[in-house]
A and B are shown apart, each in its own frame.
Chain A
Amino acid sequence: MPLHDISYKHWHGLRLGVWRRRAAIAKNGLSACLQVRWMMNLVVLCWGLGLAAAAILFLVGQLLVDDSAVSQWVATFVNPLASSLAKNLTSWLKDHPEISVSSAQNVLFYYLGLWLMRVSIFALGPIIPLLITRDLACNAIVIYSSKAVTRGDYLLGKFATVFGFLALTWLGPVCASWILGNLLAPDWSFFWHARVALENILIYGLISMAVLSVLALGVSASSANAKSTTALWFTWWILGAVIEPIALHTSPWLRHLGFGFDINQIALHCFRVGENLTVAQKEIPFLDHIRPDTIAALNSPQLTGTVLALTVMIAAAVWIILQRVKPE
């Protein structure tokens, strides 16, 4: 027909289920997070760090191979005495894969995870207002509530937003680093020996990402002012970091008030880096210079206090969220 009808049309197509709607909220949130200035740069930095860790793994792996280019380079350019010492060390390491591969990767990924977690927490600062704060300021909750989603769906979607963001800045780079590093290793057995490290990464990662997500949502819901919530996040983090060394000698329990400290304790408990270093110290003379109190600290995660503190913080965050995020 010559004239086309462009008036209002009814929709008779399918309507998707509730999980797709939750996914829509998460996706929307995540793309908003990535549009923040410098955020893509930070994400690239995280992946870069992961790549660097994989490179280190590759180099360490190459050291264990006799005729590899790396060991030849070491032999040529480093002091010949050190070179022969290294050769002895190398052969010893080949006989003890639980130290050379398992422990080494465990320690490496502990420190990689630690640093990436710091970058992630820093990156969360500008993200916090985009979660719930902005919605509170613009009364968006009313719009969400009038659509086919409940408050629970909304919060689930927002949780997935933060969790997904942390997966981009932490879990993704660390796991990719593990895979790449072991892929580039001289032997397939590296995957098997390094499984402990992967287990620890996943347990620590998933728990701490979940905890951080809830805390971030709680801070986000605490005010309708974007600057306040970002400031609260950074203040809490930095204050915790500042109190930690001071409170060690006065009231150690105070350290648990900073979520950074508690997340670290979880890492310590998962990775058991102290044990690795103690065992290694016995065998490798080079490692004597590590101070005993460092080893002692690494060996004693304050788990009870951590669990208690995090439970209280999570409960408080959930309470704040439920109070502030109301449909009307």
Chain B
Amino acid sequence: MSAQPVIETQALSKVFGNQKALDAVSVAVAPGAIGLLGPNGAGKTTFIKCLLQLQPITSGSAKLLGREVGAEGREIRKRVGYTPELDCHIPGMAGCEYVTYCAQLCGLPFQAARQRAHEMLDYVGMGQERYRKIDTYSTGMKQRLKLAQAIVHDPEIVFLDEPANGLDPKGQAQILELVQNLWRAYGITVVLSSHMLADVEQICEQIIIIARGRVLVHDSLANLKARRRGSAEVVVAGRHEDLQAACARRQWPCELLPSGHLKVAHGSPSLNPLLSLLDEIHLAPLEIIPSPNALEEAFIQALEISHAAP
């Protein structure tokens, strides 16, 4: 049973002066955790902004949650959350007041808004800071607050633009865990636009790659990884040359990476043949990462195709 797509566009185009930010984009995206990737200036942010009506569409149509974006924008946004990349908040309020206000702007009555605001602030892990004015917040707290205001009105879909930007490693891990749970535990579709491919791999099952205003790849992460099955990144403590020689004997392409790891294309669905090779030469692996950088390679490949095309 296929669910109704949450995002549907037909020949969606957006033109800035004589520059095409989006070029006849047609996609149908099912509910889930979706990673939106693309180089800078590719049109990722423009795509999200067109769906949210932060930018008017030049031509074509777009449907969000099954409704036309141009006609019913305000009502659609009752069920949509958004965390913008840049620093923005409504000034002069304490954290809990701000989230309450955001809930009211999406139609929640005041009592319910206040209650849910505090629940969301608990969810994002904000303690007593919620009673202080937002202007005094650190980056980490502001990012949590942005997430809280995006989900306080119980949206069906949330657009997150670099939610872990500017956070220290602990903060990044915490925000990512929260975002991961949104889809896995609570069924809220997540569209994550990020440059951190590792984060996208961790959270998302569907991948959309946009470059030069066009959708180059729209596939599940599992499929993208499956295409790269058969290669592995091997981390060993010393004796790279032995492994390289052994691979050469079996005619397996082997590449030494700048980090000191070795990339071996062993061509089989499991690691057991590679393990027996290592056993033969008495070399113990510290790590063997299957289908390494699948996402990164898909990304680069897609970009190369787009650069080659006129």
Enumerate chain A interface residues (CB-CB to B < 8 A). Answer: 6-11, 13-18, 20-21, 24-25, 28, 32, 130, 134-135, 137-140, 142-150, 153, 327-328
Contacts and interface: CB of A to CB of B under 8 A. Distances in A.
Given A135-B91, A149-B74, A25 B106 contact: no
Contacts of B119: 6, 8-9
Nearest to A134: B91
B90 interface: yes
B156 to A, nearest CB: 10
Interface stretch (B32-40, B79-87, B247-255): B79-87
B92 A130 contact: yes
Interface string B170-195: 00000000000110011000000000
B80 A15 contact: no
A146 B84 contact: yes
B77 to A, nearest CB: 5
B66 interface: no
B52 A146 contact: yes
B102 interface: yes
B97 to A, nearest CB: 9
Given A140-B90, A148-B75, A10 B108 contact: no
A157 to B, nearest CB: 9
Contact of B106 (A15, A28, A140): A15
Interface of B: 49, 52-55, 73-75, 77-78, 80-82, 84, 86-93, 101-102, 104-110, 112, 116, 119-120, 122-123, 149, 151, 153-154, 181-182, 185-186
A145 B108 contact: no
A21 B107 contact: yes
A11 B89 CA distance: 24
Contacts of A138: 87-91
Contact of B74 (A16, A139, A148): A148
A145 B107 contact: no
A147 B54 contact: no
Nearest to B111: A13
Contacts, number: 113
B232 to A, nearest CB: 38
Given A21-B104, A139-B86, A149-B74, 5 more contacts: A8-B181, A24-B101, A138-B91, A142-B54, A146-B82
Contact of B105 (A10, A24, A328): A24
Contacts of B91: 134-135, 137-138, 140
A166 B243 CA distance: 81
Nearest to A140: B90
A160 B120 CA distance: 30
A18 to B, nearest CB: 7
A134 B92 contact: yes
A8 B116 CA distance: 9
Contacts of B78: 15, 148
A179 to B, nearest CB: 31
Nearest to B120: A8
A147 B102 contact: yes
A249 to B, nearest CB: 46
A135 B86 CA distance: 14
B92 A145 contact: no
Nearest to A157: B105
A322 to B, nearest CB: 14
Contacts of B109: 13-14, 16, 20
Given A6-B122, A147-B77, A327 B53 contact: yes
B105 A144 contact: yes
